[in-house]
Amino acid sequence: MSLSQREKVFTTLKKAKEIVFGQDEMLEAIIAALVCEGHLLIEGMPGLGKTLSVSTMSKLCDLDFKRIQFTPDLLPSDLIGTMIFSQKTEEFKTKTGPIFTQILLADEINRSPAKVQSALLEAMAEKQVTIGEQSHKLPSPFVVLATQNPIEQEGTYPLPEAQLDRFMMKVAVDYPDFGAEKSILDLGKKIFADMEPVLKKNELADIQKTVESIYVDEKIKDLIIRIVHATRPSSKLFVKDFEGAILAGASPRAGIWLYKISKFKAFLDGKDYVSPEHILSIVPQVLGHRIILSYEAIVDKLNAKTIALRIANATV
């Protein structure tokens, strides 16, 4: 493992933390999404630096970035593009939408209706979009970083389970502590103007190869699958303590992301192998949004992330 690769990642995070205060978990999750090429759902109140974090990381990683404000009147063509008739050539030509970028910030994703969310599904799953009768490949890497407000329900459309499952992780963003919030007051505009890329595209690709090469023992793979199975009420490995609390458990995608992100965690730790601790550290973010709680569990204010971690600890 190249030490300089880790140094590049940590330098990128350090530079980002000089602009976005008190949101270390979110910044690490964003760079994990870029390295693992997965999509990230960021949930938090307005004004906590979600949009700022994404734009900052795109500049530091030298990647193309576009932002779309999702609204109830947004159309699929506003997102992916459409076919336009040219009077000059008397032919239809493709006009691509803002989705043709490397980092797409889907701001307040739950404000868009189902038809827009379904248009985003193909892009997230297949890394391509269909305009007219033609399919168009999206640039690489292609990562959707979506934000949503956790409490405002008016004018929102809850994300369907199929779309939630497309997200590698769901990260909850909380208010910064006293010291971090005080530092925000002194943040000037000059720091944005002076921002230079730290991680080049080819360096990011090299880091991806290094992370992919990290060793995962067969016992660790077994552990990942046991944890995922233990969330499913129909499985023999289901943790009986949560009978009646879980309607449906995590899908196989959860196992895939536990496998990939645990490699990235090992990379950050300077290890060339994955340990159970690396897996346990990401279980809440990877499994929490994939576990569907029963009505009774919601009434009892049980937390899916907490349940996921308790299941994982009982499985190890």
Number of domains in the chain: 2
Average pLDDT over residues 125-149: 83
Amino acid sitting at position 54: V
41 secondary structure, DSSP code: E
Contact (CB, 8 A) for 168 and 286: yes
- Percent of the chain past pLDDT 70, that is, above it, reads 95
Q: What is the mean pLDDT of the chain?
A: 85
- Residue 156: predicted pLDDT: 64
Q: Are strands 65-69 and 39-44 parallel, antiparallel or unpaired?
A: unpaired
pLDDT in tens, 199-251: 888 888 899 999 999 999 999 999 999 999 999 988 898 888 888 888 888 89
Q: What is the per-residue DSSP string for 205-263?
A: HHHHHHHHTSB--HHHHHHHHHHHHTT-TTSTT--GGGTTTEEE---HHHHHHHHHHHH
pTM for the full predicted model: 0.86
Q: What is the domain-level CATH number for residue 73? A: 3.40.50.300
Q: CA–CA separation, 68 vs 156, rounded Å?
A: 16
> For residue 253, what pLDDT is reported?
92
Other CB atoms within a 10 A radius of the CB of residue 135 amount to 11
Both 34 and 149 in one domain: the answer is yes
pLDDT tens for 24-73 read: 888 899 999 999 988 999 888 877 778 888 888 888 888 888 888 888 88
State residue 118's pLDDT score. Answer: 77
Whether 95 and 195 share a structural domain: yes
Q: What confidence score (pLDDT) does residue 230 get?
A: 92
- Given a cut of 60, whether residue 190 has pLDDT beyond it is no
Tell me the one-letter amino acid at 152. E
Same domain, yes or no: 135 and 255: no
pLDDT value at residue 263: 95
- Please report the pLDDT score of residue 188 as a whole number: 64
Percent of the chain with pLDDT over 90: 25
Tokens 């690489």 sit at which residue? 140
Q: Write the single-letter amino acid at 11.
A: T
Which residue, of 205, 226, 245, is where some domain finishes? 205
Same domain, 201 and 234: no
CA gap 69, 46 in Å, rounded: 14
Two tokens, residue 309: 């971690």
If pLDDT is split at 50, 70 and 90, which confidence band does 184 have?
Answer: confident
310: three-class secondary structure by DSSP: helix
What pLDDT is stored for residue 151 in this prediction?
60
CB-based contacts of 120, cutoff 8 Å, min separation 6: 79, 99, 106, 109, 144, 163
- 24-38, 120-134, 284-298: least confidently modelled range: 120-134
One domain, residues 45 and 118: yes
**Lowest-pLDDT range, 137-141, 166-170, 269-273?**
137-141
59 in the same domain as 89: yes
As a whole number of angstroms, the distance between CA 34 and CA 264 comes to 11
In whole angstroms, what is the distance from residue 265 CA to residue 277 CA?
9
Domain end call among 186, 205, 224: 205
Instruction: Supply the CATH number for residue 288's domain.
Output: 1.10.8.80
Q: Please tell me whether residues 81 and 177 are part of one structural domain.
A: yes
Give pLDDT tens digits for 87-116.
Answer: 777 777 777 778 888 888 888 888 877 778
CA 182/CA 89 separation, integer angstroms: 59
Claim to verify: residue 12 and residue 73 sit in the same structural domain: yes
Same domain, 200 and 262: no
Say what the pLDDT of residue 3 is. Answer: 58
Out of 205, 223, 250, a domain closes at 205
Q: What angle do CA 31, 33, 37 make, to 5 degrees?
A: 125
H/E stretch holding 173 = strand 167-173
Task: Name the nearest CA neighbour of 193 among 56, 20, 83.
Answer: 56
- Range(s) of the domain holding residue 264: 214-315
Q: Based on the domain organization, do 253 and 169 belong to the same domain?
A: no
Q: Rounded to the nearest 5 degrees, what angle is found at the Cα of 119, between the Cα atoms of 115 and 125?
A: 135
Q: Residue 2: its pLDDT value, please?
A: 55
pLDDT given for residue 200 in this prediction: 84
CB burial readout 143-158, b (16+ within 10 A) else e: bbbbbbeeeeeeebee
Regarding whether 175 and 86 lie in a shared domain, the answer is: yes
Same domain, 241 and 284: yes
pLDDT beyond 70 at 193: no
Cβ–Cβ < 8 Å for 17, 187: no
